[in-house]
Amino acid sequence: MGKLALSDEILMQVEKPARYIGNEVNSVVKDKTRVSVRFAMCFPDVYEIGMSHLGIQILYSMLNEWDDVWCERVYSPWVDLDAIMRKQSIPLFGLESQEPVRDMDFLGITIQYEMCYTNILQILELSQIPLTARERGENMPIVIGGGPCTYNPEPIADFFDLFYIGEGETQYRPLLDWYLENKRLGGTREDFLHGAAKIPGIYVPQFYEEVYNEDGTIRGRKKLYEDIPDVIVKEIAKDVTNIPYPMNPVVPFIKVTQDRVTLEIQRGCIRGCRFCQAGQIYRPVRERDVDKLKEYALEMLKNTGHEEISLSSLSSSDYSKLDELLDFLLAECGERHTNISLPSLRIDSFSLDVMSKVQDVKKSSLTFAPEAGSQRLRNVINKGLTEEDILRGAALAFKGGWTRVKLYFMLGLPTETKEDILGIGDLSNKIAAAFFEAVPKDKRVNGKVQIVTSTSFFIPKPFTPFQWAAMCTKEEFLDKAHLTKQGIMSQLNQKSIKYNWHEADVSVLEGVLARGDRRVAEVIRKAYEKGCIFDAWSEYFKNELWMESFSECGVDIGFYTTRPRADDEIFPWDFLDCGVTREFLLREWRKAQEETVSPNCKKQCQGCGANRFGTGICYVETFDK
């Protein structure tokens, strides 16, 4: 057995040493002398979070299918080990080889949420790789960023050699081939990056500059090479049925967040909720073939030994063969003592029937995400869920034995009024009342109903119709949360309703990072140097250090959050093309203000622009079109 990067002494003093030893079932160990490319694939958060991410499993499996490539995994060392590694100058290592990341050819980092930005710097520093791309020497790994946050890469552009925009299945082979070719030709790092910048979907930030107006908004961009593209179009897998899928996912020893087989049934979402970034950037909707999914499910359960399988998609109920797939899984999984987990299902009689077969009704809870408290505001955000839908679904569920309901709302949405906020309490109350109406006294098993109402704060995201929207201040957010609470407390059934709200500080910061430009990079670096890390973990989030960093760098938070944007303002991310056009987003932004809803992709095409990829829902004749 290979030698571990960490001594027994260290492993015995840190929490959960299994995070750092590799050796898991289905992890891939290759002979390093027989590969030409060493790739470290990183999720910049703790092991249990990173190991739950499907995207890394897909890329890990795809890259390791290639004989000349060895892909390993890297996660953020938890704070206890972080301190030891800094003190003893131990370089961060890949889990499989236990060898330093800095000796590999590539370090790929998936960027799933803004609050992991300081962890990216942690990964680089512990790897002993200079934080900014310009400081890196010829023999340093090429640092690649990917994932949803790269749809506005500018706040972290300085830290990356290149970004891969879009779905990872398409351009890694050409990129690695060019890397090997450039090596053979004796080319430099600069030569590699220059060539890479011409590969579809690849963005090399150091070859571009942002130019600003006097008021701080963006005037335009300058390129350093004439032959590189002005606009980078996202990459997309046209045929999702015939792309690689990990049949042998790595099985962790310790319990991780998603300790199960994940079956991705489709990409994209037809719904077009106006606050939702995923609903735009993954367009068009592409379904996987149901027969292939059945095969995958059995194969992956066999190869992992997992006791549970979960369907993954943005809106599972919209998958056209859902009934067929679930019938199959119910039959197969029952025999195998396997659980089925069904996130993102619309609550109706079919889904309740399925759920009652796979979970203990008495113990589980049902989730609705109305997102806004009034029909008016739900029309603004294009959330096609009506009060009637919710009450009908809840009544069905209560009759079926469920007694717990979770409700998710957002505060601070564009055009929100006091009435919209008070509507949250009203709706929560009506659902509680629906229980007492639906279930006669003698049939109430647990005696009463439990409604948990949660609110998060709305954060405008790039490539959504709300990218123009002004965000609230922290004080406004907290006032809205208090008003929500008062609204709930004044309800008849308030004893059945529990209210939780999200932190406001983190939301404000996320707002800056989401729509920031290159000037925000300095703040991120400063906050990290002051000790910010694991910002997504409330116990480690240090708002005062962030605030200090903003003021020391002279960066105004309000410029990025509360400032209203003109229709024609150039955004930091406008050089990217996610398929959906700016004209479409602007049209939707105006419709939002007029409180007009847009039908979903199955009902009527809205001309978003994603049909140019020549695939998916845009070319499927649907029954109710």
Query: Counting contacts by CB under 8 A, is residue 400 touching another protein?
Result: no
Q: Is 11 in the site for another protein (CB under 8 A)?
A: yes
Please pick, from the candidates 214, 226, 231, 305, the single residue that binds another protein as defined by CB under 8 A.
305
Asked if 137 touches another protein (CB under 8 A), the answer is no
Of the candidate spans 302-310, 318-326, 419-427, 551-559, the one that interacts with another protein by CB under 8 A turns out to be 302-310
Q: Is 265 in a helix, a strand, or coil? A: coil
Q: Does 596 bind another protein (CB under 8 A)?
A: no
What CA–CA distance (Å, rounded) separates 413 from 466? 9
Q: Which of residues 545-574 bind another protein (CB under 8 A)?
A: none
Range in contact with another protein (rule: CB under 8 A) among 17-25, 85-93, 367-375, 591-599: 17-25
Q: Token pair of 487, please?
A: 């609204």
Distance, CA of 228 to CA of 232 (rounded, Å): 10
Strands 286-287 and 266-267: antiparallel
Q: Is 34 in the site for another protein (CB under 8 A)?
A: no
The answer to whether 21 contacts another protein (rule: CB under 8 A) is yes
Q: How far apart are CA 94 and CA 197, in angstroms?
A: 27
User: Does residue 335 belong to the site contacting another protein (CB under 8 A)?
Assistant: no
The least CB distance from residue 602 to another protein, in Å, is: 36
The correct pick among 35, 79, 247, 251 for binding another protein (CB under 8 A) is: 251
Stretch that binds another protein, among 225-233, 251-259, 346-354, 558-566 (CB under 8 A): 251-259
- Contact between 357 and another protein by CB under 8 A: the answer reads no
Query: 368 forms bridges with which residues in the sheet?
Result: 407
> Would you count residue 619 as binding another protein (CB under 8 A)?
no
Task: Name the residue nearer to another protein (CB basis): 25 or 489.
Answer: 25
- On whether the CB atoms of residues 298 and 261 are closer than 8 A, the answer is no
Q: How many residues interact with another protein (rule CB under 8 A)?
A: 29
Please tell me whether residue 306 binds another protein under the rule CB under 8 A: yes
Sequence-ordered alpha helix ranges (H) in 232-305: 278-281, 290-304
Residue 254 beta carbon to another protein: minimum distance, rounded to whole angstroms: 5
Segment interacting with another protein, rule: CB under 8 A, options 50-58, 247-255, 425-433, 554-562: 247-255
Exactly one of 15, 18, 209, 446 binds another protein (CB under 8 A); that residue is: 18
Residue with tokens 């955004």: 571
Q: How far is the CB of 493 from another protein (least distance, A)?
A: 29
Beta carbon of residue 472, minimum distance to another protein (angstroms, whole number): 43
Cα distances from 164 to residues 198, 199, 276, 613, in angstroms, run 12, 10, 21, 18
By CB under 8 A, name the one of 86, 302, 482, 612 that touches another protein.
302
Minimum distance from residue 127 beta carbon to another protein (Å): 22
Is 330 a binder of another protein (CB under 8 A)? no
Closest C-alpha among 282, 23, 37, 301 to residue 182: 37
Q: Dihedrals φ, ψ of 373, to 5°?
A: -85, -15
Residue 28 touches another protein, criterion: CB under 8 A: no
Which of 98, 32, 26, 109 minimizes the C-alpha distance to 69?
32
Q: Which stretch binds another protein (CB under 8 A): 9-17, 40-48, 201-209, 477-485?
A: 9-17
Does residue 334 touch another protein according to CB under 8 A? Answer: no
Residues 250, 73: contact at Cβ < 8 Å?
yes
Q: Does 500 engage in binding with another protein (CB under 8 A)?
A: no
Q: Which of 15, 209 has the CB closer to another protein? A: 15
Strand partners, 407: 368, 453
- DSSP codes joined into one string, 490-527: TSTTGGGEEEEE--HHHHHHHHHHHH--GGGHHHHHHH
Look at residues 488, 479, 508, 403 and name the one whose alpha carbon lies nearest to residue 447: 403
Residue 424: closest CA among 452, 402, 397: 452
Q: Is 7 in the site for another protein (CB under 8 A)?
A: yes
Question: Given the complex with another protein, which of 23 and 344 has the nearer CB atom?
Answer: 23
Among 301, 527, 532, 533, binds another protein (CB under 8 A): 301
User: CB neighbours of 265 closer than 8 A, spacing ≥ 6?
Assistant: 287, 288, 293, 311, 312, 313, 316, 319, 322, 325
Told to check if 24 binds another protein by CB under 8 A, we report yes
Strands 339-341 and 404-411, sheet pairing: unpaired
Residue 486 CB, nearest approach to another protein (Å): 40
CB-wise, 306 or 515, nearer to another protein? 306
Burial of 84 (0-12, 13-18, 19+ CB in 10 A): middle
Q: Is 303 one of the binding residues for another protein (CB under 8 A)?
A: yes
Rounded to an integer, what is the distance from CA 383 to the centroid of its chain? 20
The residue ranges that bind another protein (CB under 8 A) are: 1, 4, 7-9, 11-12, 17-18, 21-25, 251, 253-255, 301-307, 336-337, 339, 360
